[in-house]
Structure 1
Amino acid sequence: MRLLILGTGWMAQEHARQFGKIDGAELVGAVDVDKKRVDEFSDSHGIPNRFTSLEDALAWGAFDAAANVTPDRIHHPTTMMLVAAGKPVLCEKPLAENFEKASEMADAAERAGIINMVNLTYRNVAALQKARAMVLAGEIGQVRHVEASYLQSWLVSRFWGDWRTDPKWLWRLSRGHGSNGVLGDVGIHILDFASYGAALDIDHVFCRLRTFDKAPGNRIGEYDLDANDSFAMALDFSNGAFGMVHASRWATGHLNELRLRIYGDKGGIEVVHNLNGSELKACTGEDIENAKWQALDPGSVPTNYQRFVDAVQSGIQAEPSFRHAAELQKVLDLAVVSDEKRAELRAHADTQ
């Protein structure tokens, strides 16, 4: 499979590394509006064909599929061009800036009958996949309560660099620079982690967003620091289960950690994933009486990158699809409205 990488920023480096390890996947082209950047990226990964516009790459056309690793606001127009050209696409998250655009992308890919996937990276966590399999197998009975969190500490730690002086962090705090805050940045990840792991659809959402002052006048240079820093959501799932999902960049002591707890009427499951790896624990059977949790071996699972290659080669659609990501985006869009109106809203989301 001949692959084109569209966008050559930090995440594109990971795409190139991952695809470069897969038998049958060949990096044949790269695109970036910055010629110096695309040349440096291509040189480092041995990519022979370089372009400064997607139009030029499509005119060349000698590729079988594309990885779209452009900035969020560019996902929609570029993916629509690739779909119109009949090229399968693995798009970075979020699929688009809002549900309307994301739904348009899903509609177009489905009409064209081409493979489409979104790189929700935590699907690569074996513990999450095993947890879902246990839920579907009925090992914890009927799911009643779901708790999930995504905790980061880069607003209180310099582990990732100093956000006060680094544009790659400052833009994430500024709505005027295209950021939808922590909700837009990691909200789709933790919603997917929760709903996919619990094997449940999201039915209603009530959300609160919070932005904290971080500098004099809450501004640094050209950046108004007005994007949300923390959110908390109450969710109703389609089976009647209740959920609490929250995320923050102020979580001291948590560099980057996702946690999921799923409680059923016959047991519970806990998944923790952070920079040190992942853990899976369960409390079932006789252990319920003494609240004893057993660590489980989740095994291993193929990455999104591998499954995308397999899907393109086989012609069989894989998850997570554009449609799935669009439905998650609907929940995120409703979360913003919910906060504005202080109201619970119905999602009608098929988030599997």
Structure 2
Amino acid sequence: MRLLVLGTGVMAKNQLRHFAHMDGVEVVGAVDTDRDRLKLFADEFGIEKRFLTLDDAIAWGDFDAATNVTPDRIHHPTTMALIAAGKHVLCEKPLAENYPKALEMTEAAETAGVVNMVNLTYRNVAPLQRAREMVLAGELGTIKHVEASYLQSWLVSRAWGDWRTESTWLWRLSTGHGSTGVLGDVGIHILDFAAYGAATDIDHVFARLKTFNKVPGGQIGEYLLDANDSFTMSLDFANGALGVVHASRWATGHLNELKLRIYGERGSLEVSHRPSGSDLRGCLGENVESATWREIEAAPVSTNYQRFADAVMSGLQPDPNFRHAANLQKVIDLAMITERERRELKV
């Protein structure tokens, strides 16, 4: 697979640390509108072909697939151009700013017959994959209740940087700079974590969003700090289970932690993922009577990057695909409407 990298920021560097060491993968070109950033990136990874526009890269055309690591607003036009050129695409999350655009990208990719995949990175968590296997095997019986949380603390900690002075973080707090808040930023991750782990789709949604005052006047320079910082969400799942999902950037003591609890009539599972590692616990069988939880081993799994490369080389469509990400974007869009209208909506 001859791969083009579109966008050369921090996430692109993280991806290249995976792609650069894969058998059968050759990174042949990079694109960025910032000439200096492009040069530093391409020099670091030994990439010969460098383009300041995607149009120039497509005109060159000597690549099979692209990984789209551009800002959220740029995903739609750039991915549509790549699909029109017949290129396979791995796109960062969210697929698009809203469901209509995400659906347009999905239908275009499916019509063109190109491999399409969204980088929902927590699919790489082995305990999540093991939990799903157990649910599908019926080890928990009928699923009744699901809890999921995504907790960050960068509004109360400088562990990742200082949001008061760094544009990398400030834009995420401002709708005028393209942010849809914590819901748009990590909502797709925790919704996928919950629905994938519990092996079901989301059927109904009702959400509450909250923006807390962070500085006097609610503004720093050109950044109006009006994007949501926390959300809570009540869900009905297609399998009949009830769900509660929440996320916050004010979760003191949690740098970046995802947790999923799945409760079934015959047992329960808990998946935890944090920067230091991941684990899976279960309360199953005779342990249900004593409420005893035990660690469950989870075998390593392939990363999204490896599965995308394998899919391009085999021609077999992988998961999570564009349609899945579009459906999650629909849930997020409806969640924002439920906040405004204070009513539950069917997905």
TMscore range, shorter length = over 0.9
Question: Following the alignment from structure 2 to structure 1, what is the Cα–Cα distance between the partners of residues 138 and 339?
Answer: 35
Q: Confirm whether residue 94 of structure 1 aligns to residue 100 of structure 2.
A: no
Could you tell me which runs of 5 or more consecutive residues in structure 1 were left unpaired when the two chains were aligned: 348-352
What does residue range 149-298 of structure 1 map to in structure 2 within 5 Å?
149-298=149-298
Matched residue type, 1:132? R
Q: Confirm whether residue 130 of structure 1 aligns to residue 130 of structure 2.
A: yes
Offset at 1:15? 1.2
Offset at 1:138? 0.2
Matched residue type, 1:311? A
Question: Following the alignment from structure 1 to structure 2, what is the Cα–Cα distance between the partners of residues 36 and 255?
Answer: 31
**Residue equivalent to 1:46:** 46
Q: What CA deviation, in whole Å up to 9, does each residue of 1:277-296 have, x standing for no partner?
A: 00100111000000001101
**Residue equivalent to 2:329:** 329
The runs of 4+ residues in structure 1 deviating greater than 4 Å are none
**Residue equivalent to 1:350:** none
Offset at 1:232? 0.2
Question: Following the alignment from structure 2 to structure 1, what is the Cα–Cα distance between the partners of residues 121 and 210?
Answer: 26
Offset at 1:214? 0.2
**Residue equivalent to 1:345:** 345
**Residue equivalent to 1:318:** 318
Question: Following the alignment from structure 1 to structure 2, what is the Cα–Cα distance between the partners of residues 211 and 31?
Answer: 35
**Residue equivalent to 1:74:** 74
Question: Following the alignment from structure 2 to structure 1, what is the Cα–Cα distance between the partners of residues 21 and 264?
Answer: 39
What does residue range 139-150 of structure 1 map to in structure 2 within 5 Å?
139-150=139-150
**Residue equivalent to 1:15:** 15
Offset at 1:26? 0.7
Offset at 1:239? 1.6
Q: What CA deviation, in whole Å up to 9, does each residue of 1:47-67 have, x standing for no partner?
A: 110000000000100111000
SS of structure 1 residue aligned to 2:200 = coil
Question: Following the alignment from structure 1 to structure 2, what is the Cα–Cα distance between the partners of residues 10 and 338?
Answer: 34
Matched residue type, 2:89? V
Q: What CA deviation, in whole Å up to 9, does each residue of 1:187-239 have, x standing for no partner?
A: 00000000000001100000000000000111111100000000000000012
Offset at 1:240? 1.3
**Residue equivalent to 1:37:** 37
SS of structure 2 residue aligned to 1:206 = strand
Q: What CA deviation, in whole Å up to 9, does each residue of 1:95-124 have, x standing for no partner?
A: 000000000000000000110000000000
SS of structure 2 residue aligned to 1:90 = strand
Query: How big is the alpha-carbon RMSD for the aligned residues of Structure 1 and Structure 2?
Result: 0.4
Matched residue type, 2:111? R
Matched residue type, 2:233? M
Question: Following the alignment from structure 1 to structure 2, what is the Cα–Cα distance between the partners of residues 56 and 201?
Answer: 40
SS of structure 1 residue aligned to 2:330 = helix
Question: Following the alignment from structure 1 to structure 2, what is the Cα–Cα distance between the partners of residues 48 and 39?
Answer: 10
Offset at 1:182? 0.1
Q: How many residues align?
A: 347
Q: Confirm whether residue 26 of structure 1 aligns to residue 26 of structure 2.
A: yes
Matched residue type, 2:88? P
**Residue equivalent to 2:57:** 57
Question: Following the alignment from structure 2 to structure 1, what is the Cα–Cα distance between the partners of residues 324 and 220?
Answer: 37
Matched residue type, 1:336? M
Question: Following the alignment from structure 1 to structure 2, what is the Cα–Cα distance between the partners of residues 35 and 166?
Answer: 21
Question: Following the alignment from structure 1 to structure 2, what is the Cα–Cα distance between the partners of residues 35 and 169?
Answer: 23
Question: Following the alignment from structure 1 to structure 2, what is the Cα–Cα distance between the partners of residues 57 and 200?
Answer: 40
SS of structure 1 residue aligned to 2:279 = strand
Question: Following the alignment from structure 1 to structure 2, what is the Cα–Cα distance between the partners of residues 153 and 164?
Answer: 14
SS of structure 2 residue aligned to 1:91 = strand
Could you tell me which runs of 5 or more consecutive residues in structure 2 were left unpaired when the two chains were aligned: none
Matched residue type, 1:294? R
SS of structure 2 residue aligned to 1:271 = strand
Matched residue type, 2:275? L
What does residue range 300-315 of structure 1 map to in structure 2 within 5 Å?
300-315=300-315
Question: Following the alignment from structure 2 to structure 1, what is the Cα–Cα distance between the partners of residues 117 and 197?
Answer: 18
**Residue equivalent to 1:103:** 103
Offset at 1:16? 1.1
Percent identical among aligned pairs is 69
Offset at 1:302? 0.1
